[in-house]
C-alpha cells in the first residue's frame, strides 16, 4: 500500500497520548465549557478585599485545574505548596503566562513556584488588582513614635 508523503509528515494529535499500545485522550476538565472564567478587572478594583480574594480564589482554582488537568474544586489552595500541587517549572511558566495575559499583571515566576500555597498567590493578586489607594497604604511604613 502506498502512503503519501503528506500522511507520513502529519503531526501527531497533541490531545492524545500513547500508553502501552492504546491511545488515551488527555483530559482537561475545568468548567462545563472547558474555559477559565476571568474576573472583570473593574469589578476586582471596586470590590472589597474579602470579595476580591474570593473572586480571585475561584479564578486561580480554575487556572490551576486547567494546567494540572483536574477539576477546580479538587485544587487545594490552602494546605499545600505549589510544588506539592504539581506545579513545576514548565507548568509554572504556563500558569504565569496565562494569568499575566488574562489579568494584565506581572507575576514573578520564582515567587509563583516557591509559594507556600495557592492562597499566597491569590493574596498577591488581590493586592495588585485592588484600588490604587489600598496599594499605596499597604506600602506606607507605620510611625515608629
In a domain, 94, yes or no: yes
For residue 48 the three cell numbers come to: 472589597
The boundaries of the domain holding residue 79 are 41-138
In a domain, 3, yes or no: no
For residue 121 the three cell numbers come to: 498567590
What letter would DSSP give residue 10?
P
The CATH number assigned to the domain holding 119 equals: 1.10.1200.10
Q: Answer yes or no: are the C-beta atoms of 44 and 52 closer than 8 Å.
A: yes
For residue 54 the three cell numbers come to: 474570593
Q: Per the confidence metrics, is the pTM higher than 0.75? A: no
Min mean pLDDT across 31-35, 72-76, 107-111, 126-130 is at 31-35
pLDDT of 54-102, one tens digit each? 999 999 999 999 999 999 999 988 888 999 999 999 999 999 999 999 9
Mean pLDDT on 113-140 = 78
Nearest 5°: CA angle at 135, between 130 and 137? 130
In a domain, 30, yes or no: no
pLDDT of 11-50, one tens digit each? 444 444 444 444 333 444 444 446 899 999 999 999 999 9
CA 77 – CA 117 distance, rounded (Å): 6
In a domain, 78, yes or no: yes
In a domain, 98, yes or no: yes
In a domain, 32, yes or no: no
For residue 6 the three cell numbers come to: 503528506
Total domains present in the chain: 1
CA 31 – CA 100 distance, rounded (Å): 20
In a domain, 118, yes or no: yes
CA 115 – CA 6 distance, rounded (Å): 47
The yes-or-no verdict on residue 144 having pLDDT over 60 is no
In a domain, 5, yes or no: no
pLDDT of residue 132: 65
Amino acid at each position: 500500500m502506498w502512503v503519501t508523503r503528506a500522511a507520513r509528515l502529519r503531526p501527531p494529535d497533541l490531545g492524545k497520548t500513547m500508553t502501552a499500545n492504546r491511545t488515551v485522550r488527555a483530559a482537561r476538565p475545568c468548567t462545563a465549557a472547558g474555559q477559565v472564567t476571568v474576573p472583570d478587572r473593574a469589578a476586582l478594583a471596586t470590590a472589597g478585599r474579602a470579595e476580591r480574594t474570593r473572586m480571585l480564589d475561584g479564578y486561580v482554582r480554575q487556572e490551576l485545574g486547567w494546567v494540572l488537568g483536574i477539576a477546580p474544586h479538587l485544587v487545594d489552595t490552602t494546605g499545600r505548596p505549589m510544588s506539592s500541587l504539581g506545579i513545576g517549572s514548565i507548568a509554572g511558566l504556563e500558569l504565569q503566562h496565562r494569568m499575566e495575559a488574562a489579568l494584565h499583571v506581572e507575576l514573578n515566576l520564582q515567587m509563583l513556584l516557591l509559594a507556600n500555597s495557592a492562597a499566597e498567590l491569590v493574596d498577591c493578586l488581590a493586592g495588585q488588582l485592588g484600588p490604587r489607594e489600598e496599594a499605596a497604604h499597604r506600602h506606607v511604613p507605620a510611625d515608629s513614635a
